């Protein structure tokens, strides 16, 4: 092996390790690897690493531009209420009971996800599912994983169903092969969809846990509290004492949320170390009995203070709500201190849950991530304002689009259908059709350009460009060929007959892709594995297309972990799941997809 190959393999392993450690954002890691390759390729003693000019050709790849345009089309459909209207129609079907409702839900979500980015589909359906689960008296944990899986099922049925298919198609074009047509992958995706739906229909109730969401664990009294501001008098006996030493916390009906001192908000992380000073304003969360208790404490005044130069101290009835950070939230990557959370949203953050872990301590310095679940308390007007924004999706009930935007729905739907038909009938390549559709939604007023650009998940595009650079380096250095030769060697053992070797190699490729996508993102996985798939064909003298199709399906089929696919991450916290819940129900689904794909793909796409 040349030093360039060793360099790329070490860099690839370091990139994967960084992805798994999650200390650095994945897009930043991928772009760093891109820059390192570009710098190494400019050295005078390198022979096979891509030059700077070759690395820049990555930005001419049409796939990221297509994916960006599809993000905008999906956002237009979402804003105009098309998905919400379909989701609302499910309310009438709740009376048929859990199993039949689950079946209709999965078929509906899979059908939509075949043509729309599945993340907004899941985000829109989550509040609907939570609301209907309460009316059916079925735990939301029995429905949310099937919701996420159904969106994955649908994504493997069309070219535009998921960005992995678009990326794999672009790799085929680069290799001189025909692109994947609109419904080509559906020949395998539809049977897999049917198998997945049938499996969940019969086994979801048995394999999924009975778990409660955060607010459902609260009693009716706990859900409705009073947010009260109290004043520490100058002669109060509790001045200089900690909150724990005062009598405030003797009843569980009182919680000190914040201390306001000299107009600066101080979070109460530990009642034993938070010392009270003269003039402090305390933000209390009290149930009715707690207010009565607080009024009996000497030196604490809940009444308006006259003549002390302070704002009127007031009490407001507040509600506790759950919200999830969406993929396009402006809060992602920032701390609560940086965004002045309480001042900006006028609500109090009680807890943050991330991947099943309660992050209640040191919340102010915690960087917010997409998929974080927030438990908040605020007055009804504050919660209504929060509901109208795009940063936090409240899960108490689904949002309703404005009437003016609903009137734009038919136009958006017509544009989307036009894009699909143009690609299906080979009138236009997908990048041209998607860009025309994007411009059309701007000109028809269905979406403002500023809103459209905000809808693009730039971190995903950064990840894709970075991984495309690594993929290019794997090809120019021959690393992809070496890995492909290793797979061929493993599939050519003496006890394997020559006729079965392509099947064995296909199975090994699928397994490798499946394992990678459960820990990395689907986009990163397909960009890494597609060059290897393309090298396998020439290595054994067969058509590489079956291998590329296998990487498409395996890269999307992330069922066994909550971190391999974005929709799994969103339902993870909302449904109160544990990591093992995904393994329990997802691993058999992974195995079913593996067996069916390995047997079915060679029958449709001949070796």
Q: DSSP state, 23?
A: S
Highest-scoring range by mean pLDDT, 360-369, 375-384, 563-572, 585-594: 585-594
**Least confidently predicted of 126-130, 148-152, 508-512:** 126-130
Mean pLDDT, residues 546-561: 93
Mean pLDDT of the chain: 82
Half-sphere exposure of 334 (CA within 13 A, CB side): 12
- pTM check: above 0.85: no
* Token pair recorded at residue 206: 């048995």
Mean pLDDT of 498-515: 88
From 208-212, 461-465, 491-495, the region with the lowest mean pLDDT: 491-495
Share of the chain above pLDDT 70, in %: 86
Q: Is the pLDDT of residue 324 over 50?
A: yes
Residue 113 half-sphere exposure toward CB, CA atoms < 13 A:
32
pLDDT value for 548: 94
- The predicted pLDDT at position 264 comes to 78
Predicted confidence band of residue 219 (pLDDT cuts 50, 70, 90) = very low
Q: Given this model, what pLDDT does residue 309 score?
A: 36
Burial of 194 (0-12, 13-18, 19+ CB in 10 A): middle
Walk me through the domains of the chain, giving residue ranges and CATH numbers.
214-313 (3.30.70.1450), 321-394 (3.30.70.1450)
Give the model confidence (pLDDT) of 53-65 as tens digits: 989 998 988 989 9
Name the percent of the chain lying above pLDDT 90. Answer: 27
Q: What is the pLDDT of residue 401?
A: 54
Let me know if 436 is exposed, middle or buried by CB neighbors in 10 A (0-12, 13-18, 19+).
middle
Is the model's pLDDT at 311 over the cut of 70?
no
Question: 444 to each of 76, 105, 269, 455, how far by Cα in Å?
Answer: 11, 31, 50, 17
Q: Where is average pLDDT lowest: 98-107, 164-173, 350-359?
A: 350-359
Q: What is the pLDDT of residues 173-185, one digit of tens each?
A: 988 889 999 999 9
pLDDT, tens digit (0-9, with 9 covering 90-100), for 340-395:
887 788 887 777 877 666 665 667 777 888 888 887 877 778 888 888 777 888 88
Do 74 and 116 touch, CB atoms closer than 8 A? yes
Asked if residues 256 and 293 have their Cβ atoms less than 8 Å apart, the reply is no
The residue to which tokens 């079956």 are assigned: 546
pLDDT at 146 over 90: yes
pLDDT exceeds cutoff 80 at 265: no
pLDDT of residue 122: 87
Alpha-carbon span 415 to 327, nearest angstrom: 24
Query: In this model, does residue 314 exceed pLDDT 50?
Result: no
Q: Provide the 10 A C-beta neighbour count for residue 358.
A: 12
pLDDT at 223: 47
Residue 123: pLDDT over 70: yes
What is the pLDDT confidence band of residue 489, given thresholds at 50, 70 and 90?
Answer: confident
128 pLDDT band, cuts 50/70/90, is confident
Of 255-269, 415-429, 541-555, minimum mean pLDDT range: 255-269
Q: Which has the minimum average pLDDT: 29-33, 263-267, 451-455, 471-475?
A: 263-267
Of 62, 277, 55, 319, the C-alpha closest to 167 is 62
Q: Which of 159-168, 249-258, 470-479 has the lowest mean pLDDT?
A: 249-258
Each residue's pLDDT tens digit, 18-32: 888 878 888 899 999
pLDDT higher than threshold 70 for residue 570: yes
Question: What is the pLDDT confidence band of residue 303, given thresholds at 50, 70 and 90?
Answer: very low
**Cα of 473 vs its chain's centroid, Å:** 29
For 186-228, what is the HEC assignment?
A: HHHHHHHHHHHHHHHHHHHHHHCCCCCCCHHHCCHHHHEEEEE
CA 505, CA 488: separation in Å to the nearest integer? 6
Tokens of 92: 């009438």
């Amino acid at each position: 092996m040349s030093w360039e190959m060793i360099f790329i393999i070490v860099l690839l392993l370091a990139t994967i390790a960084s992805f798994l450690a999650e200390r650095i954002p994945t897009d930043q890691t991928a772009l760093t690897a891109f820059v390192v390759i570009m710098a190494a390729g400019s050295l005078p003693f390198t022979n096979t690493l891509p030059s700077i000019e070759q690395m820049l050709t990555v930005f001419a790849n049409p796939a990221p531009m297509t994916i960006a345009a599809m993000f905008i089309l999906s956002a237009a459909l979402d804003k105009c209420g098309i998905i919400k209207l379909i989701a609302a129609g499910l309310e009438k079907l709740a009376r048929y009971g859990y199993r039949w409702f689950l079946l209709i839900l999965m078929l509906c979500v899979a059908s939509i996800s075949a043509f729309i980015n599945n993340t907004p589909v899941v985000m829109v359906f989550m509040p609907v599912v939570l609301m209907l689960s309460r009316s059916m008296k079925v735990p939301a944990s029995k429905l949310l994983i099937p919701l996420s899986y159904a969106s994955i099922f649908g994504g493997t049925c069309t070219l535009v169903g998921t960005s992995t298919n678009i990326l794999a198609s672009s790799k085929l074009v680069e290799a001189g092969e025909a692109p994947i047509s609109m419904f080509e992958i559906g020949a395998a995706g539809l049977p897999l969809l049917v198998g997945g739906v049938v499996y969940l229909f019969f086994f979801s109730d048995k394999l999924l846990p009975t778990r409660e969401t955060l607010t459902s664990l609260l009693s009716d009294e706990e859900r409705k509290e009073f947010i009260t501001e109290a004043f520490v008098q100058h002669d109060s006996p509790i001045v200089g004492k900690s909150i724990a030493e005062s009598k405030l916390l003797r009843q569980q009906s009182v919680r000190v949320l914040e201390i306001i001192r000299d107009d600066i908000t101080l979070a109460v992380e530990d009642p034993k170390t938070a010392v009270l000073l003269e003039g402090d304003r305390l933000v209390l969360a009290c149930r009715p009995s707690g207010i009565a208790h607080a009024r009996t404490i000497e030196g604490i005044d809940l009444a308006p203070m006259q003549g002390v130069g302070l704002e009127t101290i007031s009490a407001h009835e507040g509600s506790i709500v759950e919200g999830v950070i969406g993929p396009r939230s402006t809060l992602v990557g920032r701390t609560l201190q940086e965004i002045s959370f309480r001042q900006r949203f006028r609500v109090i953050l009680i807890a943050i849950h991330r991947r099943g872990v309660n992050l209640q301590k040191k919340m102010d310095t915690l960087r917010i991530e997409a998929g974080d679940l927030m438990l908040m308390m605020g007055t009804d007007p504050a919660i209504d304002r929060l509901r109208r924004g795009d940063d936090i999706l409240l899960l108490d009930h689904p949002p309703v689009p404005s009437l003016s935007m609903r009137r734009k729905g038919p136009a958006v739907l017509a544009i989307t259908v036009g894009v699909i038909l143009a690609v299906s009938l080979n009138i236009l390549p997908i990048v041209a059709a998607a860009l025309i559709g994007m411009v059309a939604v701007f000109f028809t007023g269905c979406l403002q350009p500023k809103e459209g650009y905000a809808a693009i998940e730039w971190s995903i595009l950064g990840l894709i460009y970075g991984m495309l650079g690594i993929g290019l380096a794997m090809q120019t250095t021959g690393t992809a060929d070496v890995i492909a030769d290793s797979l061929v060697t493993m599939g050519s053992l003496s006890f394997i007959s020559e006729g079965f070797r392509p099947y064995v190699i296909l199975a090994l490729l699928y397994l490798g892709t499946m394992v990678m996508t459960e820990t990395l993102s689907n986009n990163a996985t397909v960009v890494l594995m597609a060059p290897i798939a393309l090298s396998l064909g020439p290595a054994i003298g067969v058509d590489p297309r079956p291998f590329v199709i296998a990487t498409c399906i395996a890269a999307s089929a992330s069922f066994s972990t909550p971190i391999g696919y974005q929709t799994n991450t969103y339902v993870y916290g909302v449904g109160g799941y544990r990591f093992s819940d995904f393994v329990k129900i997802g691993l058999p689904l992974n195995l079913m997809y593996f067996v069916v794909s390995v047997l079915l793909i060679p029958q449709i796409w001949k070796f």
